[in-house]
Amino acid sequence: MVTKLDIIASFDPSEVGLENGNLFGFPFTYETADIIVLGVPWEVSVSYGAGTAQGPQAILEASPQLDFYDLDNPTGWQQGIFMLPIASELISQNAALRAKAAQIIAGQEQGVQIAADDALASALAEVNRGCDRMNQWVFQQSQQALRQQKKVAVIGGDHSVPLGYLQALGEQYAEFGVLHIDAHADLRRAYEGFEFSHASIMYNALQMPQIVKLAQVGLRDVSPAEVQLAEASDGRAVMHFDAVLKQQRYGGTPWLTLCQKIVADLPQQVYISFDVDGLDPKLCPRTGTPVPGGLEIEEAYCLCREVVRSGREIVGFDLCEVGPDSWDGNVGARIVYKLCNLMGLSGRA
């Protein structure tokens, strides 16, 4: 039987990337990897640009082109990273339900009351059931890996996809915080009638009592109701607006200092939820809902790095809303690799 040590001894990370079907071309298996990656090709409730369901595949295809020396964790690849094959059943379910969701959205945009239209009401119920099944799939896959003492990363798809993973983490940790990088707050309740909308992921996450702190960074497209929800949360949800952070920097406060203040508000265990539209759109032009402004990639890394340097533990992460072309996949692959390496460093005694 080939062991993890055998794989590490025989693999040269400086050679040409392998096209072997695994993320980054790494030769690890489910059994020999410390980190299991779930690609979730899902964008049923997308409300603007489509294509992020193809994000996991775009990341997978771009990933062998990376070089694997990481300044933070030079031997991070030795953790072992394995990506499950992208589930064909999720691809087909996404396509079927996306068509129904599009009809519902079109009806609402024309002023139709869904409850008064039997066909649309039935379609909405079917979409919500289907999204719940996707959540259960992510939950079960995450739970299986966590029970084997592995870490998990989720790649979307739209930002609705990590809820099942968060619920699985809720079985392992009595409390943890979420560091949320995003242009949007995602605190809408059942947006457009969809209970598991990409615009509702953090609202749904906050229904979990285990999540004791939500720190949102890079916000620049937020509804009044979302601000009111955060303000009424008694400090549980904290919004760090992109404009405010930039104004502080213009006044002379170093970005590193701002990152340290953001991280200081988080508990010991931290989950990172990374929507690529939190970055400047030049880095992710095909994301579903791009917004001008945002973070540079090294600014985002600096923030995540401070989680590790503070002595906190990154217990998991997701990367969502990656677009379907090679550039977005390239950027997405680099973020996944960086977060895997920071997660491997964190929590060490």
Integer Cα distance of 123 and 113 in angstroms: 13
Contact call for residues 157 and 201 (beta carbons, < 8 A)? no
Is the pLDDT at 192 greater than 80? The verdict is no
Q: What are the structural domains of the chain?
A: 4-345 (3.40.800.10)
Question: Percent of the chain, pLDDT > 70?
Answer: 96
- DSSP label at residue 84: P
19-50 burial, b at 16+ Cβ within 10 Å, e below that, comes to eeebbbbbbbeeebbbbbbbbbbbbbbbbebb
pLDDT at 112: 60
- Span 284-308, pLDDT tens digits: 999 989 999 999 999 999 999 999 9
pTM above 0.85, yes or no: yes
- Span 221-280, pLDDT tens digits: 999 999 999 999 999 999 999 999 999 999 999 999 999 999 999 999 999 999 999 999
HEC sequence for 145-193: HHHCCCEEEEEECCCCCCHHHHHHHHHHCCCEEEEEECCCCCCCCCHHH
pLDDT at 298: 98
Is the pLDDT at 111 greater than 80? The verdict is no
pLDDT at 196: 80
pLDDT at 349: 47
- Span 47-102, pLDDT tens digits: 777 899 999 999 999 999 999 999 999 999 999 999 999 999 999 999 999 888 88
- Span 134-169, pLDDT tens digits: 999 999 999 999 999 999 999 999 999 999 999 999
Which of the residue ranges 35-49, 72-86, 95-109, 332-346 would you say has the lowest mean pLDDT? 95-109
HEC sequence for 4-57: HHHHHHHCCCCCCCCCCCCHHHCCCCCCCCCEEEEEECCCCCCCCCCCHHHHHH
Integer Cα distance of 45 and 194 in angstroms: 7
Q: How confident is the model at residue 122 (pLDDT cuts 50, 70, 90)?
A: confident
pLDDT at 105: 76
Enclosing H/E stretch for 215: strand 211-219
- DSSP label at residue 197: -
Contact call for residues 307 and 259 (beta carbons, < 8 A)? no
Query: What number is the average pLDDT over the span 320-331?
Result: 96
Kindly state the tokens that stand for 40: 């979730």
Is the pLDDT at 33 greater than 70? The verdict is yes
Q: How confident is the model at residue 104 (pLDDT cuts 50, 70, 90)?
A: confident
Query: What number is the average pLDDT over the span 11-39?
Result: 92
- DSSP label at residue 66: S
Residue 33 CB partners (closer than 8 Å, separation 6+): 4, 26, 79, 80, 81, 82, 150
pLDDT at 197: 84
Q: Which residue has the higher pLDDT, 114 or 177?
A: 177
pLDDT at 83: 98
